[in-house]
Amino acid sequence: MVLFEKGDVTISVDDLRGTLDISYKGMPRIEEASLLVKVDGRFLSSITRALRFKGAKAFEGGDDYMNLALRYQLGDTVLECKGMLWVYRDSSIYIELENGLNRPPLEDPVATLRIRDVPYFSSALCSCNYRSRELIAKAFRYYTRGLAMGTEPRCEPPEDNPPYPAGIMGAEPVGPGKLEYSPPAYPVMLRDWRSVPPFTSFLLMRYRDDMKVALISVCHEGVRSFIRGNGRSLYVDAISHHPYRTYARIPLAVIAFDEDPYRAVEKAYSTYVSISKSTKLRKDKPYPAVFEYLGWCSWNAFLNDVDEKGLLEIAREFNEKRVPVRFFLIDAGWQHTSDNRLMSFDADREKFPRGLEATVKELKEKYSVKYVGVWHTLQGFWAGLDPESFKDYPLMEGSDGRWVPDPRDLRCFKFYFDYYDVLRRAGIDFIKVDNQYDIAKYVEGKMPIGEAAKALLYAMQSAAKCHGFAVINCMCMAPEDFYHWLSTNVSRVCMDYIPMWKGGAKLHLMYCAYNSLWYSQLTTPDYDMFQSHDPYARPHALMRAISGGPIYLTDRPGMVNAELARKLAFSDGRIPRPDRPALPTEDCIFRDPYNESYPLKVFNRVKDVGLIAVFNINKDGVKEKAIISPKDAMLDEDKRYAVYRYFGGRLDVIEGTGNIEVELDELDCELLIISPIVNGFAPIGIIDVFIAPKAIRDVRYRDGTLEIDLVEGGTFLAYIEREVDKVLVNGKAHAFSVEEGLLSILLPKELRNPRITIIIKD
C-alpha cells in the first residue's frame, strides 16, 4: 500500500490492483474504490487486471490541495488512462478520469467509479430521480383535474396514506438509454448504503461515530453522472447519451467529509463549482426582486383554460379582499399552439382577444400587480415547435421527432432572444421555464447531454438577462440542468403541488425540506404554488413562509382565504422572507418523518432570531410530540431565549441548552419564534404575519429605554423582564399590556415605519 495525506484525509493505494481506501480523521470511510472504463462494450478494471496499474503520483498544489494521479494501461498496448483526484485541505475530493481508451461507438456508462465497502456505516439520505409510479398520475387526475376544479373525478381516489418510497417511485426505467427518469428528485432515507436507488444525484451518509460524507453527482465536459447501488456495491456512472463523442476528461463525483452535515454538503458543492465553473453557488447570485413579493399563478386555478377574463376576475378579488398579491404568473394554456406544438410567439387570440399586452396593462394599472410573468417549456411547448411556423429559426429535429431550438453552437439563442423581445414589449417581466429535464430525450445520439443542456440553458438565461427577465426553473432537478444555472436563482425543489390530497400534502412538505438540504447550495428552492382554500392550506402556507424562497397562491376565483393569505405578506405585498433557505434540523436529517413517529422540523433565521416550523406528516396520522431547542436553529447555547408559539399563543423562557415540547395531531403544525433575551428584552415581532421578526428593522437598548423600528403597524409582541412605565409610538403615548412577561402593543395597521419607545420604570 502507498499512502497519501492531505489535511484529515488519508488515501491508501493498493500498489498491485490500483484500488483506493479513503480514511478521514484516522478512521476508514470508503474501501476498495476502483475505476471501470468501458471499451468496445466491455467494462475494464484493474481489479480483473484488464487494466494494468502502473503507479500513483501526488502533486502538491500549495496548501490548498493535492493532485493524485493513478495510471492504468490497457493490456500490452500503449493506451492508458488516469484516475485523477483533487484532494483539498477542507476534506473534499473531486474525482475524474483522464481517458485515452474510449473508441467509438461508445455505450453508456462510459466510465464508472465503484465503491465496494463503506465501513462503520449507520444511515443515509439521498435524492433520486427514479421514475414515479402511476399513483402520482392518479392523484393528478382525481384532485388537480377533478375535485380541485369543482368537477366530478373520472377515476378512483389515490390512497391518503400511500407507502413511500415504494408507492410513489420505483418503476423500472424503460426506453432508449433508460431515459425515463423523473423531473423532480425524491428524498429517500436509507439503512443500507448498497440500496441507493438509480438516478441518485445526492447522497449523504452518516457513520457510527457521527461523521458524515456527502457524495454528489456532476455534469461537465458533455458528461453527467448518477449514483446507484446494486445490493453489493455503490456505483457512480458517467453518461453522455452520444455514441460517437470521445472525452479526454470524464467527471465522476465529489466526496466531502465533515462532522457537521451542513458543512459536508456545502463543501461538496463549493468544490465542484470552483472546478467546473459551469454554474455559480446560490449565495453568489442575486435573488430576483419580483419574488420579494406575494404572487399568484394560474395553473391550479384554471389549468389550461386560463384566459383574460379569469385573470382579471381573480385580480379583482384580491383587491377587494385586501390580499396584496403583486405578481401574476400566467401558466400553461396562454400560448398559440396546435397539436401540442408552439405555433407563434403570440398569445392565443381566443383567450386573449385584446392581446396579451392589454391584459398585462390592466393587471398592472387597475389591480396593482407589479410584475407579470408567463410560462413556457424549454422546447417552446411540450411537443416542441412547429417547423413551418419557425422556419426562419435554427431548429434541430430531435431523436424523438420533436423540432426544438438548435443547441449546436448556441444557435438556439436567436429563438429565445426574439421570443423574449415579443414578451417584453407586451409588458412581461419574468418567465417560468418548464420541462428542462427532458433534454436527453431529444438529443439522444445527436449530441452529448451535457453539451446540449449547457447550450440551451446558457442561451435561455442570456436572452432572459438581455430583456431583464427573472426566471423560475421548473421540472429541472437533473444534473445537466442545475449545474448550468449561471444567472438564474429560483428553481422548483419538488413535484407539483396537488390540491386537497392529504397524503400528497405530507409528502410535499417532506420533499421540500429534504431536497433543500443540497439544492439550496445551487439555487433558491421554490416550493411551488398552493391554494389558500386547500383543507391542508395551513401547513402548506407555513412551510412556504419559512422557506426563504418565493410564495405564490393558485386560488380559484371566489375561494381565496384572505385571512390566511394576508399572513404571508406585509400590506405592500413584500413577503417577510427569512435570511436563507430553510433546512431540516440536524436531528431530522437521517430520520423518516413520514414512516416514523418523528415530527418534521425545519429551521431558518431572521438575524439572531431563530425560526422552527414543526409538522406532523406521519403516514398513519398518529399524534406526535416534538421536542424543540435553540440549537435546532443553530443558536448560541450560552444565552437565554424567549420562545413564542405562533399558533398556540404561548410564551416560554428557556436556557440555550433547554427545550420545550409541542404536541401535534395529523398534519398539524406549529411555528416557534426563538428570540435571544438581551438586557431583559426579547422582541417577537408583528404577529400579523407568520415571520413576525422580519417586521423589526432595528432594536436599540439605552439606559432606561428601548427603541424598536418596525416595517408597519399591527400587533407587536415581545418578552420583557422589567416593569414598563409607558410606551410611545412615534413619540406619542400609546396603550400596552404586559401579562406574565408578554408585552403586547396594538398599532394601527396603516402605520408605515413606526417607532416604538419603551420606557422602563426606575
pLDDT tens digits, 568-590: 999 999 999 999 999 999 999 99
Classify 595 as helix, strand or coil: coil
Taking phi first (over 0 means left), then psi (-120 to 50 degrees means alpha), and beta for anything else, what does residue 621 get?
left
Quote the CA–CA distance of 745 and 687 in Å, as a whole number: 11
Cell triple for 662: 409541542
Torsion of CA 53, 54, 55, 60, to 10 degrees: -110
CA 315, CA 295: separation in Å to the nearest integer?
Answer: 11
CA atoms within 13 A on the CB side of 220: 22
Angle of CA points 128, 133, 136, to nearest 5°: 100
* pLDDT for residue 41: 81
Helices 356-367, 308-320: inter-axial angle, 10-degree rounding: 10
E-strand stretches of 401-473 = 403-405, 430-434, 470-473
Q: For cell 426606575, what's the residue?
A: 762
Cα Rg of the chain (Å, integer): 27
State the Cα–Cα distance between residues 84 and 81, nearest whole angstrom: 10
In DSSP terms, 375 is beta-bridged to 432
Beta strands in 636-747 (DSSP E): 640-645, 650-655, 660-664, 669-676, 681-686, 696-702, 705-710, 715-720, 724-729, 732-734, 737-739, 742-746
Tens digits of per-residue pLDDT, 128-141? 998 777 888 999 99
Q: Tell me the one-letter amino acid at 492.
A: R
Residue 509 and residue 617 in contact, taking contact as beta carbons nearer than 8 Å: yes
Chain segment 610-630, per-residue pLDDT in tens: 999 999 999 999 999 999 999
pLDDT of residue 135: 87
Residue 176: the pLDDT is 34
- Residues ≥6 apart with Cβ < 8 Å to 320: none
**pLDDT-flagged residues of the chain (< 50):** 173-177
Give every CB contact of residue 646 below 8 A, 6+ residues apart in sequence.
670, 671, 672, 673, 687, 690, 692
**Contact in structure between 236 and 96 (CB atoms under 8 Å):** no
Do 372 and 330 touch, CB atoms closer than 8 A?
yes
Q: Are 92 and 109 in contact (CB under 8 A)?
A: no
Place of cell 396520522: 621
| Dihedral sign for Cα atoms in the order 37, 243, 130, 525 | positive
C-alpha distances (whole Å) from 452 to each of 104, 222, 483, 487, 586 are 19, 8, 13, 18, 38
What residues have CB less than 8 Å from 692, skipping those under 6 apart?
Answer: 576, 644, 646, 673, 684, 685, 686, 717
Taking the C-alpha atoms of residue 204 and residue 226, their distance in angstroms, rounded to an integer, is 14
Record the pTM.
0.97
Asked if the peptide bond before residue 105 counts as cis, ω within 30 degrees of 0, the response is yes
pLDDT reported for residue 175: 35
Calpha distance 387→409 (Å, rounded): 19
| Structure-block grid coordinates of residue 170 | 420505483
Q: What is the reported pLDDT for 132?
A: 73
Q: What is the pLDDT of residue 38?
A: 85
C-alpha distances (whole Å) from 299 to each of 304, 307, 328, 552 are 7, 11, 11, 11
pLDDT of 172: 53
Structure confidence at residue 133 (pLDDT): 74
Return the ∠ at Cα 202 (arms to 197 and 207), rounded to 5°.
90
